Structure 1
């Protein structure tokens, strides 16, 4: 059974235990094993209902990394969180999975392009946020790096992402659903070394509606 990490800021939801149980049951119905960042219980204790220490934070950090190291794929909640951008912790986990060559299915609640959330272009054609920073215009629902780091991004809930993850991990004969293939290549060195390349069968990033 393929193991899939459930990434996202959902751990902070007041109904996290219900969400976690739902995601676990949905994954099981699709033939997947859900791996949660924390157990399906209400968050209390150090770092939540009372101050925590750096050592306690490090245990949480290492626990999540250890869990990601055991999975075959990831679904990542990229809905805006505490602002217009996805949760930064989720982006770190997404990048970790990407670096391991795992397939990552992101999910968003709207296909609206990032730039469309900031208004219309100025006279010079640029779109800027409230602080005057430029907003990229690539028609993607999130920033370039997480968007291109995902194998695919679907519009919908964790259910839709899990369905797509099940299809990908079961269907690709070239990379077995990992999204990347490793081959020996001679790049920038006189000696061949293993390099990861996007799987030509299943990797191209696209927005599924």
Structure 2
């Protein structure tokens, strides 16, 4: 039986200790009996140090897409990033994985609803006469009980918790045969 391969999408790659975070994440995945594919694993056949600008961006894009193609599952960190919303790149990777038929699992430790998240990270939230919530720019805030846009909350399995809890959920679903694994 093949081991499920998990593409680990998230903004950790931008952190000063990104490689250490990726190492800890890989260890959690491996301890769960699964195989991690981290964007920081890269492509050993491409020397990214020799590239810059658009060429570097295209190489990173190609490498990440190839890893998503090899994955059985895309796991996305949808915690707030530079504001109330998740990292745009992570959102794209989750959407791409979903569109390619991969199982998708997303997680956040933050507030449970988009309204709470916006109030905390992009205040103030006010109410219109009809009761709908709006942000400081008077834009309606989705009120479906999810912490982020419904297109992310509804495209797979949403876990309210940390990375380790999300991986436990993935591992349980793989063990139960709920996640198809490529040979």
Report the TM range for the smaller structure's normalisation. 0.7 to 0.9
As a proportion of its length, which structure holds more helix? 2
How many residues align? The count is 168
Aligned 1:26-37 pairs, distance under 5 A: 26-37=28-39
SS of 1:91 mapped into structure 2: helix
The residue that corresponds to 2:144 in the other structure is 138
The residue that corresponds to 2:45 in the other structure is none
Aligned 1:54-73 pairs, distance under 5 A: 54-73=54-73
Aligned 1:1-209 pairs, distance under 5 A: 1-39=3-41, 52-116=52-116, 117-118=118-119, 119-149=125-155, 151-172=156-177, 176-178=178-180
Asked which structure has the greater CA Rg, the reply is: 1
8 Å contact kept, 1:76–1:106: yes
Q: Which whole-Å CA distance do the structure 2 matches of 1:156 and 1:144 have between them?
A: 18
Query: Please, what TM-score do these two structures have when normalized by structure 1?
Result: 0.74
- 1:120 positional shift: 4.1
Structure with the bigger RCO (C-alpha within 8 Å, sep 6+) is 2
SS of 1:69 mapped into structure 2: helix
Gaps (5+ residues) in structure 2?
Answer: 43-47, 120-124
Query: Please, what TM-score do these two structures have when normalized by structure 2?
Result: 0.84
* CA-based RMSD: 2.1
Runs of 4+ with deviation above 3 angstroms: 44-47
8 Å contact kept, 1:111–1:155: no
8 Å contact kept, 1:101–1:178: no
8 Å contact kept, 2:126–2:135: no
Q: Which whole-Å CA distance do the structure 1 matches of 2:40 and 2:135 have between them?
A: 35
